[in-house]
Amino acid sequence: MGDFVKINGFNYHYVKKGNKGHPIVLVHGLPMSSYLWRKVQDCLGDKYQVYAIDMLGYGQSDKPPEASLYTWNAQAERLARFIDTLGVGKVALAGHDHGGGVTQIMVCNNPDKVSHYIFMNGCCYDYCLPDVVRAMGTLVNFPDDTLKMFQPFVIGFFSALLQFAVAHETSLNIPIMQKHMEPFKSFEGFKSLIHHCAIPCNEELLRLDLKKIKVPTLVLWALKDRFLPFEAAQRLQKDLGGPVIVDTIANAGHFLQEDEPEEVALKIHNFLAMTK
């Protein structure tokens, strides 16, 4: 399900829901894909044009072997090109987790492409990947034959990590978990996952001038996130250059789109409605 578009020579997969209203672009994080946003899209699709993208190396998008293609800045530049290809004008842009850092860079560098910004439990400042995830990145130096031996272990590790990252045990059943992990069962998908774990987390983010983000911004934070503290949201409220609303979801973990998709969608809708 979904469509493909060429960005800088690579096939990008995305899913669109809805054909009317203001365009919204949703950007996932690690180790997810556009599938993470499916329930949020279903809730918003009757009022908006909602696009969920698979970043390069994730989901059904291409997974080239070059590590340099997966840096924060490289992903942000291609995200800007993706928005151009949509031909819908300025978009409301939402980023989560790794996608939060990518979207921060994109908004700073391309303010003319964004009408509203939604930042959800994302990488910022020196808040980024847990140390245990970064440790997986050390595998990138292993030869392919050795790396293949670690593939079942790493997929099992991320499956357990996802379960740890939600607030409700029922949010991630076995079929949903398998769908999230499916892109990494191929070796090229697995290797792209390791490349993302190996990317230096904050060098590019710490250099950002957040005052450049002047569009209306919603910082939406799940309070049961076991990885990223609410302190990050409070810092962003002070440091961004435009009007900022900080809102919370009390009963959701890091993957709030799985825990409370209806509440996520409602808060996005209310934010867009009040900041037209």
* Per-residue confidence band for 253, with pLDDT thresholds at 50, 70 and 90: very high
CA separation for the pair 118, 265 (Å, rounded): 11
**Burial class of residue 242 in the structure, from the number of CB atoms within 10 Å of its CB (0-12 exposed, 13-18 middle, 19+ buried):** middle
Whole-number percent of the chain with pLDDT over 70:
99
State residue 245's pLDDT score.
98
State residue 126's pLDDT score.
86
Whole-number percent of the chain with pLDDT over 90:
88
Whether residue 55 contacts residue 61, with contact meaning beta carbons closer than 8 Å, is answered with yes
| Alpha carbon 234 to its chain's center | 20
List domains and CATH numbers for the chain: 3-128+200-274 (3.40.50.1820)
Tens-place pLDDT, residues 143-167: 999 999 999 999 999 999 999 999 9
At what angle are helices 174-181 and 144-164 packed, to 10 degrees? 140
- pTM of full prediction above 0.85: yes
Q: At which residue do the structure tokens 């303010």 appear? A: 111
CA distances from 20 to 49, 50, 88, 228, 254 (A): 6, 9, 11, 34, 30
State residue 9's pLDDT score.
97
What is residue 37's DSSP assignment? G
Phi then psi dihedrals of residue 40, to 5 deg: -65, -45
